[in-house]
Amino acid sequence: MNNAVAGFSKLSKEEKINWIAKEYFSNPSEAIALLKNYWNTDEKIQKLHDEFIENTITNFYIPLGVAPNFLINNKYSAIPMAIEESSVVAAASKTAKFWSTRGGFKATVINTEKIGQVHFIYKGDISKLELFFIQTKAKFFSETESITKNMQKRGGGILDIVLKDKTNLLPNYFQLHATFETKDSMGANFINSCLEQFAKTLREEALVYELFSVTEKNIQIVMSILSNYVPNCLVRAEVSCPVEELKEKHIPNPQEFAERFVQAVQIAEVEPYRAVTHNKGIMNGIDAVVLATGNDFRAVEAGIHAYASRNGHYSSLSHAKIENGIFTFWLEIPLALGTVGGLTSLHPLVKLSLEMLENPSAKELMQVVAVAGLAQNFAALRSLTTTGIQEGHMKMHLNNIINQFEANDDERILVHKYFKKNTISHSAVVDFIENLRK
């Protein structure tokens, strides 16, 4: 049985590694060597990474790829993507090229409003609480002035604060529901600081509010936190062209293709089992750009999936139609992103990714991310409704299988040659390599 450890975070990195290796590995020196092999030789870069989180022992690599040729609102972008799944960047690049000769992607930001809430318990007369809120509202703004000053200079700040009665859901449960504009920052720290001040003001002002009884004065703050559900921080991405222009090598009959494509989207609209996988494909594109640009992909994921369920059942994020001979495919997603603050000026590769995107505003980044999601979805549906997904997927995965078997250069060449003409599957590749080695 392994031992517990006291004060682990206080140990040096070397001590942490030694302890972990001794405690959990059959070959401690091998584990230590591997961990150290992934340290950056540039001490400055390594120190940065060490300090991103607690108890860093090494770096965990994920490839950073590029999908070029994305024509978005008539401007070309090369999109940085951090992702481990073999086919994602290839699919994005292929789709970018396809649409670049068909008008490109159109993207628009519909709104940029963020949300935060103070959740509290009030036991008493609701009309008195409502009056208290009206009379105190200005104070919520004035007492957060030191926090909002800089954001206001950048054109952002607190948009509004409303009192919400949630007693139909939980006894005595109320909220201060606040909306914010955070411009180019994701705004999590700004919003949470404002909310914690609102909570303080709420509690202190209630204590001295003359109309409240002793019980009513004693408002209990449960928590103050931003919401990652941002249905009013919305971006739309779209592609569209005459059906006959969809024609290419793999799409000999564009009308049939467009109809099957629309059906595939409709299935994802009505069938949650399919919708989850359909949206997962969209997230392949979204997460990769979100990660490469130093944004919080967990927040983005949580918010987007909540949005996918907004009508009471989980549904497709994208939609497609054929109208008057025109094929249109689009999605609308909530995205709270930042291009300043957070990791954006800290992580050297995030800085590089943002520079590759020509240092976009948060709104421009929202558009790029939405386009990457739509492109990924287009690529998946195009394969699924024509050749099937495995052909392209396994082609990209072939190198991973070869690497598992530590094939030498000669074996690699033979494997690639053979599987150019033969169907790739894990077992077929394994059989082929084993036969070679006999």
Q: Which residues are catalytic?
A: 85, 280, 296, 393
Measuring CA to CA, how many Å separate 296 from each of 52, 151, 187?
14, 21, 11
With CB atoms as reference, the residue minimizing the distance to ligand MEV is 281
Judged by CB under 6 A, which stretch of 68-76, 126-134, 275-283, 330-338 contacts ligand MEV?
A: 275-283
Using CB under 6 A as the binding rule, whether residue 280 contacts ligand MEV is answered as yes
How many residues sit in the footprint of ligand MEV (CB under 6 A)? 9
Which window, 112-120, 273-281, 306-314, 348-356, contacts ligand MEV (CB under 6 A)? 273-281
CB of 162 vs ligand MEV, minimal distance in Å = 39
Residue 92 C-beta: closest distance to ligand MEV, Å? 12
Nearer to ligand MEV, 67 or 380 (CB): 380
- The answer to the question of residue 277 lying near ligand MEV (CB under 6 A) is yes
Q: CB-wise, 57 or 304, nearer to ligand MEV?
A: 304
Quick one: 137 or 280, whose CB is closer to ligand MEV?
A: 280
Site string for ligand MEV, 282-321 (x = CB under 6 A): --x-------------------------------------
Separation of alpha carbons 69 and 61, rounded Å:
26
Tokens matching residue 104: 């490109």
One symbol per residue from 365 to 394: x for binding ligand MEV (CB under 6 A), - otherwise; what is it?
---------------x---x----x-----
Residue placing its CB nearer to ligand MEV in the complex, 49 or 280: 280
Crossing angle (nearest 10°) for helices 272-292 and 348-356 = 100
State the DSSP string of 234-266: EEEEEEEEEGGGG-BTTBS-HHHHHHHHHHHHH
Q: Which is nearer to ligand MEV, 178 or 379 (CB)?
A: 379
- Tell me the C-alpha to C-alpha distance, in Å, between residue 82 and each of 212, 280, 386, 388: 55, 16, 28, 25
Q: Count CA atoms closer than 13 A to 414's CA, side-chain side.
A: 14
> What mask of x and - would describe binding to ligand MEV in positions 73 to 92, judged by CB under 6 A?
------------x-------
Q: Provide the minimum distance between the beta carbon of 20 and ligand MEV in the complex, in angstroms, as a whole number.
A: 32
| CA 44 from centroid of its chain's CA atoms | 28
20 phi, psi to nearest 5 deg: -60, -45
- The span from the CA of 76 to the CA of 96, in Å, is 10
Question: Which of 119, 217, 278, 397 lies at the binding interface for ligand MEV (CB under 6 A)?
Answer: 278
CA atoms of 241 and 246, how far apart (whole Å):
7
Give the chain's length: 438
| Cα separation, 247 vs 250, whole angstroms | 8
Contacting residues for 215 by C-beta, under 8 A, at least 6 apart: 123, 124
Task: Report the nearest approach of ligand MEV to the CB of residue 376 (Å).
Answer: 8
**Least distance in angstroms from the C-beta of 330 to ligand MEV:** 16
Q: Which two tokens stand for residue 381?
A: 């549906």
Smallest separation (angstroms) from ligand MEV to the CB of 184: 31
Burial 228-244 (b: 16+ CB within 10 A, else e): bbbbebbbbbbbbbebe
Q: Which is nearer to ligand MEV, 345 or 400 (CB)?
A: 400
Quick one: which of 281, 303, 338, 342 contacts ligand MEV (CB under 6 A)?
A: 281
Residue type, 291: L
Binding site for ligand MEV (CB under 6 A): 85, 277-278, 280-281, 284, 380, 384, 389
